[in-house]
Amino acid sequence: MTSPSANITSVLKETRSFPPSAEFVANAHISGMEAYRELWQRSKDDPTGFWAEQAETLTWFEKWHTVLEWNEPHAKWFVGGKLNACYNCVDRHVLAGRGNQAALLFEGEPGDTRVLTYNDLLREVSQFANVLKNQGIQAGDVVTIYMPMIPEAVVAMLACARIGAMHSVVFGGFSAEAVADRNNDAKSKLIITADGGWRRGKVIPLKQNVDLALSKSPTVQTCIVYNRCNTSVEMVAGRDFWWHELAAAASTDCPAEPFDSEHPLFVLYTSGSTGKPKGILHTTAGYLLGASRTHHWVFDLKPTDTYWCTADIGWITGHSYVVYGPLANGATQVIYEGAPNQPREDRFWEIIAKYRVSIFYTAPTAIRAFIKWGDQWPKAHDLSSLRVLGTVGEPINPEAWIWYHTLIGGGRCPIVDTWWQTETGAIMIAPTPGAIATKPGSATMPVPGIHAEIVDRQGNPVGANEGGLLVIKHPWPSMLRTIFGDDARYREQYWSQIPGAYFTADGARRDDDGYIWIMGRVDDVLNVSGHRLSTMEVESALVQHPKVAEAAVVGRPDDLKGEAIACFVTLVSGEQPTEELKKELREHVVKEIGALARPDDIRFAELLPKTRSGKIMRRLLRDIAAGRESKGDTTTLEDFSVMAKLRESDE
Ligand code: WTA
């Protein structure tokens, strides 16, 4: 398999192009290149007129009077409008006579299944919204959700939206420490969890983690526990309540209240370039519009489709393309609780065949694992129901793309490589599959309404095939509104780096045909198995260990994960570098952040290479971690011998 560094070279040489079939084009929502160009041009020439037209696809309690108020860097979209996100995702489908249609086809890891129709969803969500109200939750309050991928996770999010409470979903793989940090930053009042969730045949002890987190989360008064795994958990009287007991006592009637377009919908924490994750704030109307329109355009969703996005609701992909986008569009979708290789390496293909999934959206890291597991697994299943395939989260190497196209898509399914971010709320660059011929490794072109440019540090557009920084030129409805509790950081990070544009922190190039190729982050954010992680976050976890004096963390190319986590550690005097200690430090990082941050390599060093002004020379460390010879200039190194010593300390 090619490594991601080899990938950059192979991407530069990639010239293959895959146009959609005539039949696909004929039936697509955006049919043909001309239709795409026209729609995109219209959105560029008259952004507010364009978005106002699109906004008619939502159901409003009161219409807006102003499409956009823009005081850079603060946007207000659809000012004066009132709506309810949950109503748009549930009630309106029931009122349109589609109540008996399946909304969620749930498959638990142990093999248990449930179907929730839109009628079911309305009843469950209304009832749980009343549960939250009965616990004193009001519009504007923050509710933490730390749950496995089960229907109740979706119900909990929608119940918050129904009553105007902001949800803050924390991925179930994060540790108790990480849950507590997020609770405290958001001043969460209530947490919803489960006793546990199934992962590779084992129960992840979510409630146990919550107990630890709550000892450090003074703002959280209440904990609601869904019984998923029938494991015994500790229930603190007066603080902890069973979901099923509270629900049984709550009415199923809870009319959706109208909220302002700019009413906060949720906060979702993501890694930036500092040690502290930032709470990305999204608001109601613009976010819902971005998620639902992109879902419609990019996945070409039709009423006959069965859609499956494998993302966990703990990530933005789960928010936009499991919950808000597909449900606002009235989709029928699969949700699966567990691992792709449980009980065997064909679980995903078995699910696709069983539910006749037609649109499948996953991550390159998963595809690389499937390749490693072998072709026999997908080949054993009937995947003929598939018609669109998607990827997200990291660049996809052409080899993985071709495998996905051939083995999974049978050569007939367009692959939508979707570039976007927690901050953008919705897909920004991706092929509209009935219009744009795809090229392996390219996210192709911006979706309608999005004005992407590639510029130099001063903000000047660069030429074809010249690499530069990816920026977005005009505000768009689903953009983040701020960083929760830190507007200065919002301004600084996104709107101060490049004049007059939103700075994505990704590098990119545009080829001669106008196709965009994403080159990866230009800041200290790692992409580990499609998950964002800051080097500083891991460093600050490491230095919290009493035996660690200093730590530097860099990414190194990895065939499976995209990037692996390489750590360089100096110890406090008197401590010995041992294999035992490496193990201890790995576990320490897992405890501080979560298993997704487990270091791959730990090297002990006597000193870290620094510039004369004391900055750690990460470029050199990246070369060492990747086993490359350093070509860069090392003359500012404080101590030349440091480099030689580091090389000796091979993992
Ligand atoms: C990277 C995930 C290449 C990128 C939706 C971005 C991608 C970061 C792609 C955001 C893609 C996401 N091709 N790189 N198709 N999609 N990225 O916030 O570096 O978890 O800045 O959002 O992932 O990660 P986030």
Region 210-233 average pLDDT: 98
> Which atom of ligand 1 is the closest one to the Cα of 525?
19
Give the contacts of 429 (CB within 8 A, at least 6 positions apart): 418, 419, 420, 443, 444, 445, 446, 447, 450, 452, 516, 518
Looking up tokens 């603080």 gives 239
For a ligand 1 pocket test, name from 268, 394, 472, 534 the mutation site with the most ligand atoms within 8 angstroms of its C-beta.
Answer: 394
pLDDT over 70 (residue 649): no
Cα separation, 411 vs 406, in Å, equals: 5
Determine if ligand 1 sits within 6 Å of the CB of residue 394. yes
Q: What is the pLDDT of residue 274?
A: 82
Q: What is the pLDDT of residue 611?
A: 81
DSSP element (H, E) containing 36: helix 33-45
Q: CB of 441 within 8 A of CB of 11? A: yes
Give the contacts of 117 (CB within 8 A, at least 6 positions apart): 99, 100, 101, 102, 103
pLDDT over 80 (residue 630): no
pLDDT over 90 (residue 402): yes
pLDDT over 80 (residue 10): no
pLDDT over 80 (residue 500): yes
Least confident residue range of 59-68, 145-154, 452-461, 627-636:
627-636
pTM: 0.95
Coil vs helix vs strand at 283: strand
Q: What is the pLDDT of residue 635?
A: 53
Reported as a single tens digit per residue, the pLDDT across 327-381 is: 999 999 999 999 999 999 999 999 999 999 999 999 999 999 999 999 999 999 9
Per-residue pLDDT band for 11 (boundaries 50, 70, 90) equals confident
Region 561-586 average pLDDT: 96
DSSP state of 561: T
Determine if ligand 1 sits within 6 Å of the CB of residue 482. no
> Which atom of ligand 1 is the closest one to the Cα of 418?
15
Sheet holding 516-521, edge to edge: 452-455, 468-472, 502-510, 516-521
Reported as a single tens digit per residue, the pLDDT across 602-620 is: 999 988 988 888 888 888 8
Tokens of 566: 């390489």
Tell the residue nearest (CA) to atom 15 of ligand 1: 419
pLDDT over 80 (residue 474): yes
pLDDT over 70 (residue 637): no
Domain 524-649, classified CATH 3.90.1300.10, yes or no: no
Per-residue pLDDT band for 12 (boundaries 50, 70, 90) equals confident
Q: What is the pLDDT of residue 3?
A: 45
Reported as a single tens digit per residue, the pLDDT across 125-183 is: 999 999 999 999 999 999 999 999 999 999 999 999 999 999 999 999 999 999 999 99
Domain 22-444+451-508, classified CATH 3.30.360.10, yes or no: no
Cα separation, 256 vs 129, in Å, equals: 9
> Which atom of ligand 1 is the closest one to the Cα of 396?
13
Region 224-253 average pLDDT: 98
Instruction: Assign 3-class secondary structure to 339-362.
Output: CCCCCCCCHHHHHHHHHCCCEEEE
Coil vs helix vs strand at 180: helix
pLDDT over 50 (residue 4): no
- Binding positions for CoA are 199-202, 317, 341, 529
Q: CB of 326 within 8 A of CB of 319? A: no
Pairing of strands 264-270, 278-283: antiparallel
Q: Ligand 1 centroid vs 486 CA: distance in angstroms?
A: 23
Q: Ligand 1 centroid vs 506 CA: distance in angstroms?
A: 9
Return the domain boundaries, the chain: 22-444+451-508, 524-649
Q: What is the pLDDT of residue 614?
A: 82
- Binding positions are 199-202, 317, 341, 393-395, 417-422, 506, 521, 529, 532, 543, 545, 548
Q: 505: phi > 0 → left, psi -120 to 50 → alpha, else beta; which?
A: left
Tokens of 8: 């950059």
Reported as a single tens digit per residue, the pLDDT across 87-116 is: 999 999 999 999 999 999 999 999 999 999
Q: CB of 415 within 8 A of CB of 404? A: yes
Tell the residue nearest (CA) to atom 23 of ligand 1: 393
